[in-house]
Chain A
Amino acid sequence: MPKNTDGRILLGHGGGGKMTGRLIRELILPRLDRGQLGQLPDSVVLSGLGDRIAYTTDSFVVSPIFFPGGNIGSLSVHGTCNDLSCSGARPVFLSLGLILEEGFPMARLQAILESVAEAADEAGVAVVTGDTKVVPRGSADGIFINTSGIGRIERPLSLSPSRISEGDQILVSGPVGNHGMAVMLSRAEFSFDFDLESDSASVWPVVERLLNLGEGLKFLRDPTRGGIAATLNEIAASSGKGVRVDESAIPVDESVAAASEILGIDPFQAANEGKIVVVVGKGLGEEALHLLSDCPVARGAALIGEVTTANPSKVVLTTRIGGSRIMAEPSGELLPRIC
């Protein structure tokens, strides 16, 4: 834990970066790991239940609760569906745990539940169990949601970083940074006017198409907190290979680029809630893009880079003007309560 902050949880511990990693490794795993937890998967394939079931959980504390393109309700469905999808599992069942603050307007809760229903129907999942708690005013901020999800593994593929090798191609399923930027902009302290929505969506349709690549599909990850910078670094670190990406190939919407300049937030570090980063075998990039060509959730998908033997465990960005630099893992208290 940080040397100057012994004994207290800081916002950075929830940032999804190195501080979170340390909290998990030093406090949680030693006490709770009985074999499977230690691999820290976004979702786990349950053993002893026929090897076909994936399981995951996620909590949502986004602020503000309503943002352009969604709200905490739709987000809590998409987030969990996407964790399952990245294990190659079709999302099937969800649980829904609500923590409500005394005084929260009923009308807002209703709107949130309606968007849970809408998002679940669209993603083809059913909410099958749940829980509701109310805490006194001041003990929570309006509403927090936890969802767990169960998914069915359609094809027994090993989507593991250990299969990543030199020459593999990396693609992203669409323009990056929209969710993080939309949420930041909708916070009260910013008074900017941008035409920008969260990309919150279930990515299962994307994954379903990519499964057709069979063994050629090597790794999937949804770049949420920390954006694609965090995900690409995870790919480099966990595979021990280098990753080279081309700045001008990474799709960024114009409105996101403009907002990022004003807010000083790197779009590559901003959260996504409806995108995936995909590693496919050498030479399979075009075929992957072709598989996605009719998929609405993958509009704007692009090949952005490749796996290298040079610069092991590092991500190197070729900049717009042809320079090279490291794309580091985002760290610390980047953007609290983004999801």
Chain B
Amino acid sequence: MNPRDERRTAQALASEIKDLARKHSGQMRFMEVCGTHTMAIHAAGLKSLFPESVKLVSGPGCPVCVTEKRFIDHAILLAAKYDACVTTFGDLVRVPGSSGSLTTFRSEGGTVRVVYSPLDAVEVAVAQSPRPTVFLGVGFETTIPTVAATLKAALARGVENFYVLPAFKTIHPPLRILAAKDDLHGFLLPGHVSAIIGSDCFSYLVDDFHKPGVIGGFEPLDILLALRDLVSMTVRGTSAIVNDYKRVVRADGNRAARDILYDVFEPADASWRGLGVIPGSGLAFKGPYTRFDAAAHFPVNVPESKDDPRCLCAAILTGSKTPDRCGLFGKECTPEDPVGPCMVSSEGTCAAYYKYGAV
């Protein structure tokens, strides 16, 4: 679509949303579950196009943001004790742990390598062999199948010094908890995660909570379209799961990717920043893949960690607060010197507010 048509279509959708919203008394609050949506919404300045009565709040779908401080501590302590090389996606290296981040650990002589795919992490392990190499396993259903496939390959190839410290998460359990909140009226559902898990599996939002959910793409027009559908259902008082991202998401998702995932992992409890321990919301290694489990293989004593009580990340990840309500925002907490992970992650809500602001 050429830029002029794109702008025209956007304006048309925006005014449709305004017209619909006028028919509704009171606020409509929708949650964009996924961090990539958060960023895309702010990058396109979409909020400047919405009427006052339509509010978008962020959810728990930013993998770095929901990862607990203790996980960073764990990675650093493990690497220090066993002289392991840490490999990770870039976002995680600046997340503050209890005493410094992986960046500080690196400046003090630790080995931390940023990789762009799990496969790269295996290559680093091969190059570092026999030194243990620990990949930090953070992510949702989008990333996990790739990690699982990589582990299958590593097992077949006999890479002996490659390990994963797991903090993987799945999206349904926290979503169920959030769907019960009265002040959330619908959900902009994650496009990439849904490509794996499909659209049908969100039906509980409608059946159990009578709330609409729309799966949307990541282009500004995709998001406006999804928002229009959410507003329209809310105004009419109906609820359904609508798939506005059919070019990527199928009703039953990607079966093959899920099969690989559950060949390697099985559901386990997981601890979420802001939400605490949610039963069945994480993944643990199973069968022959337990040999990759860095936590089991390299025991360390990781003390409980405490979050800065002034940091509102927990409330932000559950849609109850926005970053501008945090007293540290932009002052003591900036992307270069962050207090919470929401300010570090390239998908974090505080980072989005900081980078793209409110005009």
Interface residues of A (CB under 8 A from B): 2-5, 8-12, 17-19, 189-190, 248, 264, 311, 314, 316-328, 331-333
* Chain-A contact segment, one of B192-200, B251-259, B334-342: B334-342
Answer yes or no: B238 CB below 8 A from chain A CBs.
no
10 A-B pairs in the complex with CB atoms less than 8 angstroms apart: A4-B100, A12-B336, A189-B116, A248-B3, A311-B359, A314-B357, A325-B45, A325-B359, A331-B335, A331-B336
* Cβ contact within 8 Å between A9 and B11: no
CB distance from A196 to the nearest CB of B (A): 18
Residue from A4, A10, A320 in contact with B220 in the complex, judged by beta carbons closer than 8 Å: A320
- Residues from chain A with a CB closer than 8 A to the CB of B357 are 314, 325-326, 328
CA distance A333 to B43 in the complex (A): 20
Answer yes or no: B234 CB below 8 A from chain A CBs.
no
* Cβ contact within 8 Å between A264 and B346: yes
* Cβ contact within 8 Å between A8 and B107: yes
Asked if A8 meets B108 with Cβ closer than 8 Å, knowing A319-B44, A322-B7, the reply is: yes
CB distance from A283 to the nearest CB of B (A): 25
Asked if A316 meets B6 with Cβ closer than 8 Å, knowing A4-B100, A4-B101, the reply is: no
Interface string of B37-51 (1 = CB under 8 A from A): 000001111111100
Chain B residue at minimum C-beta to C-beta distance from A332: B336
- Residues from chain A with a CB closer than 8 A to the CB of B336 are 2, 12, 17-19, 331-333
- Residues from chain A with a CB closer than 8 A to the CB of B231 are none
Residue from B45, B116, B120 in contact with A319 in the complex, judged by beta carbons closer than 8 Å: B45
CA distance A166 to B242 in the complex (A): 47
- Residues from chain A with a CB closer than 8 A to the CB of B42 are 325
* Cβ contact within 8 Å between B104 and A4: yes
Answer yes or no: B185 CB below 8 A from chain A CBs.
no
Interface residues of B in 162-206 (CB under 8 A from A): none
Residue from A12, A323, A326 in contact with B44 in the complex, judged by beta carbons closer than 8 Å: A323
CA distance A93 to B96 in the complex (A): 46
- Residues from chain A with a CB closer than 8 A to the CB of B334 are 18, 331
* Cβ contact within 8 Å between A5 and B100: yes
- Residues from chain B with a CB closer than 8 A to the CB of A8 are 104, 107-108
Interface residues of B in 99-121 (CB under 8 A from A): 99-101, 103-104, 107-108, 115-116, 120
CA distance A168 to B103 in the complex (A): 42
* Cβ contact within 8 Å between B115 and A325: no
- Residues from chain B with a CB closer than 8 A to the CB of A11 are 103
- Residues from chain A with a CB closer than 8 A to the CB of B99 are 4
CA distance A131 to B309 in the complex (A): 54
CA distance A322 to B45 in the complex (A): 8
Most B Cβ at <10 Å: residue of A189, A311, A321: A321
Interface residues of B in 1-33 (CB under 8 A from A): 3, 6-7, 10-11
- Residues from chain B with a CB closer than 8 A to the CB of A328 are 354-357
Q: A5-B104, A8-B108, A325-B43 are in contact. List 18 more A-B contacts (CB 8 A).
A: A4-B96, A4-B101, A10-B104, A11-B103, A17-B336, A19-B336, A190-B116, A318-B45, A320-B6, A321-B7, A321-B49, A323-B45, A323-B47, A323-B220, A325-B42, A331-B334, A333-B94, A333-B336
Chain A residue at minimum C-beta to C-beta distance from B330: A328
Chain A residue at minimum C-beta to C-beta distance from B49: A323
CB distance from B40 to the nearest CB of A (A): 11
CA distance A319 to B43 in the complex (A): 8
Interface residues of B in 34-80 (CB under 8 A from A): 42-49
Most A Cβ at <10 Å: residue of B104, B116, B220, B335: B335
Chain B residue at minimum C-beta to C-beta distance from A317: B45
CB distance from A35 to the nearest CB of B (A): 30
CA distance A318 to B220 in the complex (A): 13
- Residues from chain B with a CB closer than 8 A to the CB of A248 are 3, 7
- Residues from chain A with a CB closer than 8 A to the CB of B346 are 264
CB distance from B115 to the nearest CB of A (A): 7
CB distance from B135 to the nearest CB of A (A): 15
CB distance from A6 to the nearest CB of B (A): 10
- Residues from chain B with a CB closer than 8 A to the CB of A326 are 355-359
CB distance from A190 to the nearest CB of B (A): 7
Q: Nearest 9 pairs between A and B by C-beta?
A: A323-B45, A326-B357, A332-B336, A321-B10, A325-B45, A2-B337, A325-B356, A331-B336, A319-B45
Chain A residue at minimum C-beta to C-beta distance from B114: A189
- Residues from chain B with a CB closer than 8 A to the CB of A4 are 96, 99-101, 104, 337
* Cβ contact within 8 Å between A323 and B48: yes
CB distance from B5 to the nearest CB of A (A): 11
Answer yes or no: B85 CB below 8 A from chain A CBs.
no
* Cβ contact within 8 Å between B116 and A324: no
Chain B residue at minimum C-beta to C-beta distance from A328: B355
- Residues from chain A with a CB closer than 8 A to the CB of B359 are 311, 316, 324-326
Chain A residue at minimum C-beta to C-beta distance from B9: A321
Chain B residue at minimum C-beta to C-beta distance from A327: B356
- Residues from chain B with a CB closer than 8 A to the CB of A9 are 107
Residue from B7, B100, B115 in contact with A320 in the complex, judged by beta carbons closer than 8 Å: B7
CB distance from B226 to the nearest CB of A (A): 14
Answer yes or no: B221 CB below 8 A from chain A CBs.
yes
- Residues from chain A with a CB closer than 8 A to the CB of B103 are 5, 10-12, 333
CB distance from B47 to the nearest CB of A (A): 8
CB distance from A225 to the nearest CB of B (A): 14
- Residues from chain B with a CB closer than 8 A to the CB of A317 are 45
Chain A residue at minimum C-beta to C-beta distance from B46: A323
CA distance A331 to B224 in the complex (A): 30
CB distance from A24 to the nearest CB of B (A): 15
- Residues from chain A with a CB closer than 8 A to the CB of B100 are 4-5
* Cβ contact within 8 Å between B3 and A322: no
- Residues from chain A with a CB closer than 8 A to the CB of B337 are 2-4, 19
CA distance A264 to B103 in the complex (A): 20
Chain B residue at minimum C-beta to C-beta distance from A323: B45
Chain A residue at minimum C-beta to C-beta distance from B335: A331
* Cβ contact within 8 Å between A189 and B115: yes
Interface string of B325-359 (1 = CB under 8 A from A): 00000001011110000000010000000111111
* Cβ contact within 8 Å between B107 and A322: no
Residue from B6, B94, B116, B335 in contact with A321 in the complex, judged by beta carbons closer than 8 Å: B6
- Residues from chain B with a CB closer than 8 A to the CB of A325 are 42-45, 48, 356-357, 359
